[in-house]
Amino acid sequence: MKGVLLVNLGSPDSPTAKDVKPYLDEFLMDERVIDTPKWLRNIIVRGIILNTRPKKSAEAYSKIWWEEGSPLIVISERFQKKLQKATKMPVALGMRYGSMSIKSAIQELKQKGVDEILLVPLYPHYAMSSYETVVVKAMEVQAEHFPDMQLTTLPAFYKNPDYIKVLSDSISKGLEGFDYDHILFSYHGIPERHIRKSDPTKFHCQLNDKCCSTNSVAHHTCYRHQCLDTTALVKKELGLDPEKTSSSFQSRLGSDPWLQPFTDKEFERLAKDGKSNLVVITPAFVSDCLETLEEIAMEGQEQFEEAGGKAYKHIPCLNDNDDWVALMAKWVNTWEENESLPV
Ligand SMILES: C=CC1=C(C)c2cc3[nH]c(cc4nc(cc5[nH]c(cc1n2)c(C)c5CCC(=O)O)C(CCC(=O)O)=C4C)c(C)c3C=C
Ligand SMILES: [Fe+2]
Ligand SMILES: [Fe+2]
């Protein structure tokens, strides 16, 4: 029997430094996140970052934590329950880091009689530190604990026309009643080095304006150009004025070069350029989380207003939006019927 395994990033068990520390340890010790040799990663993570970051992160998590738990986990569970109602196959949810492991989610599917899984990394774009690490981890768990289980992976859907339509509709709804001067598409940043290292086409992007896909025979471009593709397609779908939109990259960590422009610098630039009313959307995330609810919706508003901006709105991620659930149901049900996957 076929089944679906949804995988998101994961969160600490509670917004305390005690629980944030082991979560960050697992996350940042991932060789696809901090991609240095292990001895150096140990020094960077355990010798430096984990001394101060857990307290700071716990304070940030406390600001966005819900009564039911971490927003990312709660939203992912709501999505899983709705998807379960829209398909005959068992649907399980696992997290790459922290509690709710991928192993226990596969175990749950196995107990329900599943021997063929569609793995759905809950990320629209392919980055070594998000999509790829989920796939590699699931394959490792499968090989070690479930050798008879078949695993197929849903491709990154950042430019799938149905996804662009659902995303655009939700943005269009969020724009209602807000007289904006500018829409900023803010994506999670990554170190520039990762672009070269993890390009699934093995074509090495030059990080310039020319899309690397024009030089590549494959369907996928690098993470940066995938993000810019999503922006371009939403702009086209909604007929947005190019003068009133731009893309940026948030959440940088450490002093290596990360993708630019940085979202926080964009807040300042836009306010200084006289854009008083700003809308921010965060299409690298399918569910709202620390990075959207605290960094963008709270901190971002403060930064923009301090720089002179007047009105600010963050449009929520797709979360458990019914159209988004229906689209995922269409993808998984089509795979169940005839093995075909969306492009
Ligand atoms: C959207 C995909 C993501 C990519 C790509 C990504 C890369 C990446 N992240 C860090 C460091 C941190 N990220 C943190 C939180 C976080 N990151 C993502 C997604 C991507 N990260 C999400 C959904 C979240 C929120 C989790 C939640 O519980 O809500 C954090 C933890 C919080 C903090 O201390 O700020 C860190 C650290 C790196 C280094 C990286 C690429 C190299
Ligand atoms: Fe992150
Ligand atoms: Fe590129």
ipTM of the complex model: 0.96
The two tokens of residue 157 are 């859907």
pLDDT digits (tens, 9 = 90+) for 151-170: 999 999 999 999 999 999 99
Both tokens of 250, joined, read 């948030």
287 in contact with ligand 1, CB cutoff 6 A: no
Gap from CA of 210 to ligand 3 centroid (Å): 8
pLDDT of residue 343: 86
Residue positions forming the annotated binding site for Fe(2+) = 188, 291
Q: Which residues of the chain have pLDDT under 70?
A: 199-204, 210-220
Alpha carbon of 33 to ligand 1 centroid (Å): 9
Shortest-distance Cα residue to atom 15 of ligand 1: 291
Tell the CATH topology of 2-157+322-338. Answer: Rossmann fold (3.40.50)
322 CA → ligand 2 middle, Å = 26
| Ligand 1 atom nearest residue 289's Cα | 29
**Beta-bridge mates of residue 119:** 5, 153
**CATH class assigned to 161-315:** alpha beta
Q: Ligand 2 centroid vs 205 CA: distance in angstroms?
A: 22
Which tokens go with 32? Answer: 């696809």
Whether 127 is in the pocket of ligand 1, judged by its Cβ within 6 Å, is yes
By most ligand atoms within 8 Å of CB, the mutation choice from 157, 188, 192, 194 for ligand 1 is 188
Q: pLDDT value at position 161?
A: 97
**Distance between CA 69 and CA 145 in Å, rounded?**
30
- Side chain identity at residue 285, one-letter code: F
Tokens for 270, please give them: 């836009």
**Domain boundaries in the chain?**
2-157+322-338, 161-315
Supply the pLDDT for residue 255. Answer: 86
Note whether 2-157+322-338 and 161-315 share their fold.
yes
